[in-house]
A and B are shown apart, each in its own frame.
Chain A
């Protein structure tokens, strides 16, 4: 099992450009999450999908959109990138319902917006 995979690993964008970060998991998990990690701020939740067909805003959703394409895949889109979106983005998944609540993370995407 590959676990949680993310593409791309690195990306540089110019202000105003758009892009989609891809995430897929092969653990048959129902819930999927997108976080951003900024220095000194831990990880903050952007959006999540408790189950296929549902998405909800997290703590810092502004400037992002998500799509739960199917049970395996959960993408994050930046429509018009801004320098404030320079960050490391992590996708995660967990079993839902039931399970024990820990989330498993992908390797991250390092995004720089100039």
Chain B
């Protein structure tokens, strides 16, 4: 069975601080995908990034960066110089990479990030 754990339920920072959101996953699959989604106060779910299990390179996109470490089953998300607009719930998710099964997403419980001015 797959499992995603986001141990930080809520994080509060002051604007311009750096913040890291933790994600730890469990899977028996050798091939899988990891994702981060953002849910702003308006409620929609916005896809941020995908990483497959064979690609352990870190990725940077503007103020966002992701650190994938297969050895520790972690896929952490860092926001540099946080802004008020970053306030949202962030979800980490895991998908098996088996085409015949519909490739369901398993979500973590989410981390509520509040960035205060």
What is the interface of chain A, defined by CB distance below 8 A to chain B?
A: 31, 33, 40-45, 48-50, 56, 58, 88, 90, 92, 94, 96-98, 100-105, 107-108, 110
Contacts and interface: CB of A to CB of B under 8 A. Distances in A.
B44 A105 contact: yes
B71 to A, nearest CB: 23
Nearest to A45: B104
B9 interface: yes
B77 interface: no
Interface of B is mostly: mixed
Contacts of A103: 47, 105
A42 B109 contact: yes
Interface string B87-117: 0000100010101111111011110000000
A46 B104 CA distance: 11
B47 A96 contact: no
B50 interface: yes
Contact of A40 (B9, B37, B47, B95): B9
Contacts, number: 64
A31 B102 contact: yes
A45 B43 contact: no
19 contacts: A40-B109, A42-B109, A43-B45, A43-B91, A43-B105, A44-B107, A45-B104, A45-B105, A50-B101, A96-B99, A102-B33, A102-B47, A103-B47, A104-B47, A105-B44, A105-B45, A105-B47, A108-B43, A110-B43
Contact of A101 (B33, B44, B108): B33
B33 A56 contact: no
Contacts of A105: 37, 44-45, 47
B35 interface: yes
Q: Which of A42, A56, A58 is the most central at the interface, judged by chain B CB atoms within 10 Å of its CB?
A: A42
Contacts of B47: 102-105
A58 B102 CA distance: 10
Contact of B95 (A49, A101, A108): A101
